[in-house]
Amino acid sequence: MFTNDQLKAREEALRILRYIEAEELTDEDRSQITKDSIENFANHVNPGWLEYRKSVSTDSACIEWSDTEENFRDLYGNEFIDFLGGFGIYTCGHRNPYILKYVKKQLDRYALHSQELIDPLRGYLSKLMSMVTPGDLQYCFFTNGGAEAMEMALKLARLATGGKWYISTVGAFHGKSMGAISMGGKGAYREDYAPLIQHVQHVRYGDAEAMDVAIQNLRAVGESVAAVVIEPIQGEGGVIIPPDGYLKAVREVCDKHGVAMVVDEIQTGMGRTGTMWRCDYEGVTPDIMAYGKAFGGGIMPITGIIARPNMWNQKLIENPWILGSPTFGGNPLACSAAIAAISYTLENDIPRQAREKGQFLMKHLKALQEKYPGVLVDARGAGLLIALEFPSSEVGYHVTKELFARNVMTAGTLVNAKTVRIEPAAVMSYETLETGMKRLDEALAVTAEKFGL
């Protein structure tokens, strides 16, 4: 027997499904969905989320409802240029037709796997990853979110090396699970969860010598080090690009001390920064590499790690579950999306598109920086991972609000908007990119006047 609330839930579910199924919504539907969404977030998700999204809200909540390759639409059909790109998810665009076709085909066959039999798409995807990643990276493990992928990387480093300590960097961001947040280098994300994993030492980003010294000091007092954990570009940290040669120098430090080099390519990978992987920029092969975001083609959530053969030791072969056993990791639907995303990325040279369109944007941004030096303090980036820096978070928030009022979506970094990210799809047309720049010009002009900059 079901309770009264459960019977009401059945009716509520049917009402919601009618919205999903509808070809066209009525004005009454739109009004109700908006009202429901505000109440549901306030009472069942987190009321803080509505407050957090004030920087892009108008008088009433903007409800995302549909999308095209370049844009998303709200309930009323208003189109917004997506300069945020889901923090790097939509490198191949929203609902890319090529990728979507194969996901639908797989959905018509079977969606999830039995957990016991061999699922071929996971094997095919692993082989493809060994072909498109640097050097001798070979063995894959698929997960569902970026933090989960980093957890697997941290565990694998200890299994493979026998070491205990990790060296991370100040300003780093690797996710918000306990292990991943322990690697993070921003106090705002860490302080409420202390004590975290204790065997972590943070050094200055971009300074390979500091890593070398940290490892030497730990060994001098009888400790062992499992891995160095770094982003090739700090994304959430504000799109901080290290000096050329940094990754090579870190690779040399790791080789010198026999510790694993773990590189977090979750945001920088799949062509986002102008090369297939940011590691390719310096010709470096990590021991373990994490990937995600754009890996699912902007359609399915899938992340993971890939490791060199020497990392995949006998313990993992004897007990394949020792690293982890995510129920939905590497499921057929997600694998079909990732396989299609790799195919599309190679066929359409997404890294080249990101590189060239990034150069196009940077030319416009540098001109805007000269025009509004008091507002736009800096513009920097690699490919289509770009940061706009403002003199304060308040100024940055105002720019994002003015952009959103002009139907352009952006967002800040490190829980503030002093630095705002620009991460459009690599398939976005030059015409749309230029329109976005014109609207940014208008937003900067209004902000300069408001703050007297």
Place of tokens 């797989």: 106
Q: Which two tokens stand for residue 202?
A: 């943070």
Number of helices followed by number of strands (H, E) in the chain? 17, 15
Residue 258, C-beta contacts closer than 8 angstroms, at least 6 positions apart: 161
Determine the pLDDT at residue 49: 76
Closest by CA to 307, choosing from 152, 143, 88, is 152
CB atoms under 10 Å from CB of 116, counted, come to 6
Closest by CA to 339, choosing from 187, 33, 132, is 132
Q: One-letter amino acid identity for 250? A: V
Q: Which two tokens stand for residue 409?
A: 């979506």
- All residue ranges of the chain with pLDDT < 50 are 54-55, 58-59
Strand 288-291 to 260-264 pairing: parallel
* C-alpha to C-alpha distance for 437 and 414, rounded to whole angstroms: 24
Determine the pLDDT at residue 54: 47
* C-alpha to C-alpha distance for 282 and 86, rounded to whole angstroms: 27
Q: Which two tokens stand for residue 387?
A: 């940061």
Determine the pLDDT at residue 55: 44
Q: Which two tokens stand for residue 178?
A: 């306990």
Q: What is the pTM of this model?
A: 0.95
Determine the pLDDT at residue 53: 60
Strand 165-169 to 200-203 pairing: parallel
